[in-house]
Amino acid sequence: MTMDTKNGSGRTAGRGIGLAAVRGLALALISLPGAVLCFCLSLVSIALIPIGVGIVTTPYALTGVRAFANSRRVLAAEWGGVRIPAAYRPLPKDANPWARTFGMLRDPATWRDLRWLPVDMTAGFVTALLPAVLLLYPLEGFALALGLWRVFPDGYWYGFVPVTGQASAFGAAALGLVLLFLAHFLTPRLLGVHFRLTRAVLGSDQGELAERVRVLTETRRDAVDASAAELRRIERDLHDGAQARLVAVGMDLGTIEALLDKDPARARELIAQARKSSVEALTELRELVRGIHPPVLAERGLGDAVRALALRLPVATEVSVELPGRAGAPVESAAYFAVSEVLTNAVKHSGADRIWIDLHRADGMLRATVTDNGKGGAVIGAGSGLAGVERRLGTFDGVLAVSSPAGGPTMVTMEIPCA
């Protein structure tokens, strides 16, 4: 019973060593030519981008690199129990070759793949081949002991053993036996080293992912808080403004109905008062709607909405707009209200008599810059309007940068990713 158990364990260990060696040899035979081919094609394709050919070929080359890397991820999980998550940014299905090329080149995962290829064709090749070498090389030592040494009349080196006769051939067999003993322990581990090396180079930075999750959690919380505050503001404005005026109009109409026959003069006064209250209620509703989403923004886009905003400022303002097409409605809304908040701060606190607004799109970013010639000293701090702008932009992965030395000028730059 005990002997059968030991024999079964030995057979299992032998199969494990043999399987690791076969898998390592297969990986070595695949990794070297595959990595060399993918690396060379990618470099040539990227180098041809300036002349236009690479715009067409690069997406195909990089797609091949991703397929090669993903196949290694699958083998790492199935053969080594090492999971290497893929973190590629999605590309629009209808993207043209230009958008696909530069979308893939802006993806950090693409550059991780390209850095991994030279590692895979060198250190990866060696670590994949070693399990097979440790298992097969001892067989050569045994073959030398069985008489293969006679084929080499001038002698033969087996490892560090010079084989010149039968005695030294037995020494080679002894060395082969030691190597086979080491292979029993090292072969499966060496295959694991290969996959862990792959994960170290090909895997995404966990610290970066953790920081990304933290930022997204904070921006989500800020977005929820901002939405709740906006809803409370709308409710308060409706309750204290338009709703109160409409209630008053309703009461006036009831009084007018009772006074039409008894006191026509008083009824006419109340009619005029009700008309005035209804006009004021309508004005407040329009202002409220403009504060939620300005009609000019929905109808004519961000550029004209910011121009309309500048016309209402008490400070001379110049607006420069270079926006080919329109961004998504949420992005336009976020940019509009961010610019509006920055302009409000400039008018209230900077003491400027001139403001410049620049809107343009570059490198997949919507960039808005507001510059004033005021006294400077603006900072992003708790309780400041700029802190609120930063939270608003953070919801869209946007950034806010402020340059405001004492004495001015102040330049506030906002960037929001947009397709």
pLDDT in tens, 380-398: 765 566 777 777 777 777 7
Within 50-165, residue ranges assigned H as helices are 53-80, 97-105, 108-119, 125-145
The lowest-confidence range among 35-49, 112-126, 211-225 is 211-225
The pLDDT value given to residue 73: 86
- Alpha carbon 262 to chain centroid, angstroms: 74
> What are the DSSP calls for 139-187, one per residue?
HHHHHHHTTGGGG-TT-EEETTEEE-SHHHHHHHHHHHHHHHHHHHHHH
User: pLDDT band at 43, cuts 50/70/90?
Assistant: very high
pTM of the model: 0.47
Note whether 131 and 190 are within 8 A (CB).
yes
* SS3 state at 365: strand
- DSSP run (H or E) holding 319: strand 316-322
How large a percentage of the chain has pLDDT more than 70?
67
Burial class of 194 by CB neighbour count within 10 A (0 to 12, 13 to 18, 19+) = buried
209 Rama sector, left if φ>0, alpha if ψ -120 to 50, beta otherwise: alpha
The pLDDT value given to residue 40: 92
Burial class of 118 by CB neighbour count within 10 A (0 to 12, 13 to 18, 19+) = middle
Residue 344 in this model has a pLDDT that exceeds 70 = yes
Q: Name residue 90's amino acid.
A: P
CA angle, residues 262, 265, 266, in degrees to nearest 5: 75
Mean pLDDT score, 237-243: 64
